[in-house]
Structure 1
Amino acid sequence: MHSERNRTILKFAAPLLTLLSSAPALAQEAEPASVAGVYDGSQMEMAATLELGEDGRYRYALSYGALDEFSAGTWTRQEGGVVLDSDPSTPPRFELLGTERGSGAADVLTLRLEGTGNLPPQLFSAIVERGDGTTSELDFSEQGLEIPVAKGTSGLSIGFALPMYEVRGEPVTVPDPAGKVLYFAFHANDLGFKAFHEALLFESDGLFLLERFGREIVFRKVVD
């Protein structure tokens, strides 16, 4: 069911720049026409669009390099700007499928990740926390990931991440990790849907400002 829903969402999102014309509108209290409208936030290497509907619904789409994201929900006027609250969504997650002991090298913990689909494994990372409190972030390869384990290591904490989409999973504690192979699955679910919760877009001289991926997006109203 998740894969079917994900295919539907991706179909809904692509191409991103047609999202605003195809997303459904739900009845909400109308906002001032002077604020409602379509806004263009495109800049070098980035395409971004925001629609603030007069019905209180918003639609948002962004394409930045190999990353595409979109969102839809409700917006409200607030002093200093507008606030976005997304529709419910199912975020991506990581699942531990199983553990094998003795099938890996004696001085490493081996991680295998399935279900990445069209996403190269190199986009995924593992956040490793050791017993002494030190933390490191290691990138996957096509073969998986091997984490060196010092002799006598009693346990590690392993968390998965997909930094490109700001996805981070819950950490898993691995006791006595040396020589183990852990198998994980990635469930994309609503990957690409940006969940806004009481997100304030500041207004300045009729422009709306949004911080994404270390860049400031300036949305300017499109005049017919």
Structure 2
Amino acid sequence: MKRTLRHLLPCLLALLPFPALAAGAAGLYTGNEGHEMAAELLLREDGSYAYALSVGALDEESQGRWEERDGAITLITEPKPVPPRFTPAPAIAASGTEPPPYLLVTLPNGRGLAGIDFTITCADGTRIDGYTQVYGWDFASETCTAPQAITLREPIHAIESPPYPIAPGATALHFHLVPNDLGRVDLTGTFGVIAGETLTLVRERGQIRFRRAKPR
């Protein structure tokens, strides 16, 4: 179920106390750079922060502490989230007369995942790019007679696996996407530049502009 910022923020605000800082940049900032995006960044006077973003199919949150210096703020995420990851899993056995798909990506509970991008590299240098369905993915063996390795990607949360070697003669590959702290992001080192009522948060995945919310 898709969560909204209204549902996320009450959980984020129950933070451990930190030593008090000068008010300075403290306050609630809201970001809205399009009809599909909403974001909030709360800088509390005790030095803690709460962040939430919703854009398209992506929901993410973060919490920790912040520091202010020379008109800029820096975020330190605490506690550190455990990132999601892909792990190899036992191959699925054939069901009746139907062979298992060549590639299947599931959650640990067995639910198949659609929209997982992958790249298969072949012995002759050929690259096969595709994406999974909930029931997996198959390919014609003549397109790649000797698969060597596969890399998996979940594009919404930018999750990518290392290249996993493919055993010679393998007919079925199965991977788990282990969620861990999926949706919680480590913003340590992220900085925000403050100009008047605007705070521009600079992240690896781009910038987000916030405006200080007026007190109610």
Q: For this structure pair, what is the TM-score category when the shorter chain's length is used for normalisation?
A: 0.7 to 0.9
Greater mean alpha carbon deviation, residues 181-190 or residues 207-216: 207-216
1:41 aligns with 2:31: yes
1:142 corresponds, among 134, 142, 149, to 134
Q: Measured at CA, do residues 120 and 59 of structure 1 come closer, stay the same or move farther in structure 2, by a change above 3 Å?
A: farther
Alignment of 1:69-80 (within 5 A): 69-79=60-70
Greater mean alpha carbon deviation, residues 127-136 or residues 180-189: 127-136
- The aligned residue for residue 49 of structure 2 is 58
Secondary structure at the aligned position of 1:20 is classed as helix
The Cα shift of 1:36 comes to 0.6
Whether the 8 Å CA contact 2:190–2:202 is kept in 1: the answer is no
- The aligned residue for residue 7 of structure 1 is none
Measure the CA separation in 2 of the matches of 1:204 and 1:147: 54
Whether the 8 Å CA contact 1:72–1:86 is kept in 2: the answer is yes
- Size of the aligned set, in residue pairs, is 208
TM-score (norm 1): 0.77
Q: Deviations over 1:91-114 (max 9, x none)?
A: 112221124799969xxx811122
Give the % identical residues.
28
Q: Measured at CA, do residues 53 and 140 of structure 1 come closer, stay the same or move farther in structure 2, by a change above 3 Å?
A: same
1:67 corresponds, among 43, 48, 58, to 58
Secondary structure at the aligned position of 1:19 is classed as helix
- The aligned residue for residue 14 of structure 2 is 24
- The aligned residue for residue 4 of structure 1 is none
The Cα shift of 1:30 comes to 2.5
- Which of the pair is proportionally richer in helix? 1
1:169 aligns with 2:142: no
Q: Measured at CA, do residues 112 and 42 of structure 1 come closer, stay the same or move farther in structure 2, by a change above 3 Å?
A: same
The Cα shift of 1:138 comes to 1.6
Measure the CA separation in 2 of the matches of 1:149 and 1:81: 56
Greater mean alpha carbon deviation, residues 160-169 or residues 29-38: 29-38
Q: Measured at CA, do residues 196 and 147 of structure 1 come closer, stay the same or move farther in structure 2, by a change above 3 Å?
A: farther
1:198 corresponds, among 159, 165, 189, to 189
Q: Deviations over 1:36-67 (max 9, x none)?
A: 11000123221100001111111001111222
Measure the CA separation in 2 of the matches of 1:34 and 1:221: 12
Alignment of 1:109-124 (within 5 A): 110-115=102-107, 121-124=113-116
- Which of the pair is proportionally richer in strand? 1
TM-score (norm 2): 0.79
Q: Which sections of structure 1, spanning at least 5 residues, go unmatched? A: 1-9
Alignment RMSD, CA only?
Answer: 3.3
Greater mean alpha carbon deviation, residues 120-129 or residues 137-146: 120-129
Measure the CA separation in 2 of the matches of 1:176 and 1:68: 39
